[in-house]
């Protein structure tokens, strides 16, 4: 599969509720939480674990690979193309300075999805698209407990990106089921959520609320 085909795959996969895993070191608990999110309608899952060791991360990523296959949902690995390759994930998500698209493509092959964080800069999204990224992410749109110092992105930026960038667009940062609709209206294809999904009592119902936002757009 070449780069054009991987972009087509991304356009099909990167949409709706883009669930990002919490920093949960208990693998059994993590799988239980993720299963609830997938049952509620999460369309893509990003595995993010900045605190776990290599063995724990491999264990969790491998288990999540099996779970996401059960639901037919894409698995993206945060910032670690090597781990993505080891577990045959569907792709990798990179901060703009966390590794090149070319290196990730060489490691993963043409059929895998590569996403790039572009923060609050459309110029970075244009650069990422030119380098062969399959989707771009902007944020934070609202106050984020995960990254409180993240640069602020605006709805106007999202509208501009939608006009200029022919790739799936992911919005991230403090997104809830109450404020997410305006981001979809402005042009986001997917809403990336951690705390407002995995930090609530009823994960499945909350995931369903997020998924239902997309049915209206």
| Contact by Cβ (8 Å): 217, 185 | yes
- Residue tagged active-site, from 15, 43, 65, 117: 117
- Residue tagged active-site, from 48, 65, 105, 112: 48
Verify whether residue 50 is a known catalytic residue: no
Verify whether residue 121 is a known catalytic residue: no
- Residue tagged active-site, from 35, 85, 121, 147: 147
Separation between Cα atoms, residue 174 and residue 141, nearest integer Å: 7
Instruction: Indicate if the alpha-carbon torsion angle 24, 45, 208, 41 is positive or negative.
Output: negative
Omega before residue 80 within 30° of 0, cis: no
Cα angle value 120/174/171 (rounded, 5°): 45
Query: Which residues are 129's β-sheet partners?
Result: none
Verify whether residue 147 is a known catalytic residue: yes
Instruction: Report which of 8, 3, 5, 48 is spatially closest to residue 25, judged by C-alpha positions.
Output: 48
Which residues form the catalytic set?
48, 117, 147
């Amino acid at each position: 599969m070449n780069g054009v085909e991987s972009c087509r795959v991304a356009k099909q996969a990167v949409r709706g509720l883009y669930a990002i895993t919490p920093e949960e070191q208990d693998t059994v608990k993590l799988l239980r939480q993720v299963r609830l999110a997938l049952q509620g309608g999460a369309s893509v899952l990003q595995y993010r674990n900045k605190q776990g060791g290599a063995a724990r991360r491999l264990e969790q990523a491998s288990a999540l690979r099996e779970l996401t296959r059960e639901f037919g949902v894409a698995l993206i690995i945060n910032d670690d193309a090597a781990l993505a390759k080891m577990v045959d994930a569907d792709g990798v998500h990179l901060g703009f300075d966390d590794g090149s698209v070319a290196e990730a493509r060489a490691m993963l092959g043409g059929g895998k999805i590569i996403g790039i964080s572009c923060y609050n800069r459309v110029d970075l999204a244009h650069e990422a698209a030119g380098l062969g990224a399959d989707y771009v992410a902007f944020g934070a749109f609202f106050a984020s407990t995960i990254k409180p110092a993240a640069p602020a992105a605006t709805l106007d930026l999202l509208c501009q990106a939608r006009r200029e960038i022919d790739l799936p667009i992911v919005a991230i940062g403090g997104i809830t089921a109450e404020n997410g609709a305006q981001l979809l209206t402005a042009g986001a294809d997917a809403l990336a959520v951690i705390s407002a999904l995995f930090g609530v009592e009823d994960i499945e119902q909350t995931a369903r609320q997020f998924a239902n936002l997309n049915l209206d757009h």
